[in-house]
Amino acid sequence: MPELPEVETTRRMLEPVLLGRVVRDVLHTDPQRYRNTEAMLGKQILKLERRGKYLIFRLDDGLDCLVHLKMTGGFRIPNDKKFLEPPRFERLRLVLHDGEVSYVDSRRFGFWEIVPSNQWQHIKALSEMGPEPLSSDFKLKDFQTAMSRVSRVKPALLSQKPVAGVGNIYADESLWLAKIHPEASKLSAAAAKRLHAAIIEVMARAVEVGGSTLSDNSYQQPSGESGYFQLEHHVYDRTGAACSRCGAEILKYTLAGRGTHYCPDCQRK
């Protein structure tokens, strides 16, 4: 699933293409998954924001378009403003007054919904989401308090409540950097401080290089280019490789239903 770095990369690349444009048409054949999109017609896109793993198109007339990419969703931007052929797995196309943007999704799990501005209460994941890790709202003291209460640290991070946007890839990478086992509980203030710094460092670097594109190529930047943070992974998707810090073999097991990668020497339980 695209996580904060992939969604933020997408937002930054879409912004110059979409900002200020008027939506002339929204083409798709799945009104259950792409809800109320007819409300976008004739509306100007005023801002493009991100909250956790959600994209938020701020439209005029007090409307928001919420987009969650889920497992395999993404955007494609044509080189000449219009597509000569539909991109593979295209599910929706935004027709603007001076160009087009395509939404692709091979597994069809992503969704769009148009709602009144800031009326997101029905989406529990948004209403309960923690602070953004690359903002001043991600305060160390609050994070230390939250982490001192958790029974297992990685599932807590994946819940999105202590901090927004951290999914499976970046939880594993941050825990490795902080030398914390994925099942550690009730972190000390010192351990939580290391993890707080690690999350910021990992997320900032991943955004800088366009996110992570894994072997299935399900995530690509809107330009069609891959992300590059996978070249810097220390544990995620490196089962059996040597730890770059101590040389021990990277292990993988299942925790809370998610494949979890860690170094048994650096991250002792």
Q: Tell whether 173 and 235 lie within a shared domain.
A: yes
CATH number at residue 197: 1.10.8.50
Nearby residues of 222 by Cβ (< 8 Å), 6 or more positions away:
10, 13, 14, 17, 74, 75, 76, 77, 101
**Active-site residue (options: 2, 133, 162, 222):** 2
Q: Which of 35, 70, 194, 258 is catalytic?
A: 258
Specify whether 2 is catalytic.
yes
Question: Does 132 fall in a domain?
Answer: no
Domain boundary among 98, 126, 154: 126
pLDDT for residue 269:
87
In terms of domains, do 170 and 118 share one? no
Q: Cα separation of 212 and 1, whole Å?
A: 10
Burial call 191-208: b when 16+ CB within 10 Å, e when fewer: bbbbbbebbbebbeebbe
Catalytic residue among 11, 43, 53, 76: 53
Long-range contacts of 53-62 (CB under 8 A, 24+ apart): 53/1, 53/2, 53/3, 53/4, 53/7, 53/164, 53/165, 53/167, 54/7, 54/125, 54/126, 55/7, 55/10, 55/11, 55/14, 57/18, 58/117, 59/23, 59/114, 62/116, 62/117
Residue 144 CB coordination number (10 Å): 18
| 118 in the same domain as 55 | yes
Joined tokens for residue 250: 């990277």
Residue 180 forms part of a structural domain: yes
CATH of the domain at 62: 3.20.190.10
Residues 153 and 258 placed together within one structural domain of the fold = yes
For residue 67, what are the domain limits?
4-126
For residue 100, indicate whether it is catalytic. Answer: no
> Do 93 and 102 meet the contact criterion of CB atoms below 8 Å apart?
yes
pLDDT tens, N- to C-terminus, the chain (269 residues): 799 999 999 999 999 999 999 999 999 999 999 999 999 999 999 999 999 999 999 999 999 999 999 999 999 999 999 999 999 999 999 999 999 999 999 999 999 999 999 998 889 999 999 999 999 999 999 999 999 999 999 999 999 999 999 999 999 999 999 999 999 999 999 999 999 999 999 999 999 999 999 998 999 999 999 999 999 999 999 999 999 999 999 999 999 999 999 999 999 98
d(CA 35, CA 49): 19
Q: Give how many domains the chain has, as a whole number.
A: 2
Same domain flag for 184 and 94: no
The percent helix, strand, coil of the chain (3-state, each to 5) is 25, 25, 50
The two structure tokens encoding residue 82: 């219009």
- Strands 99-105 and 73-76 turn out to be antiparallel
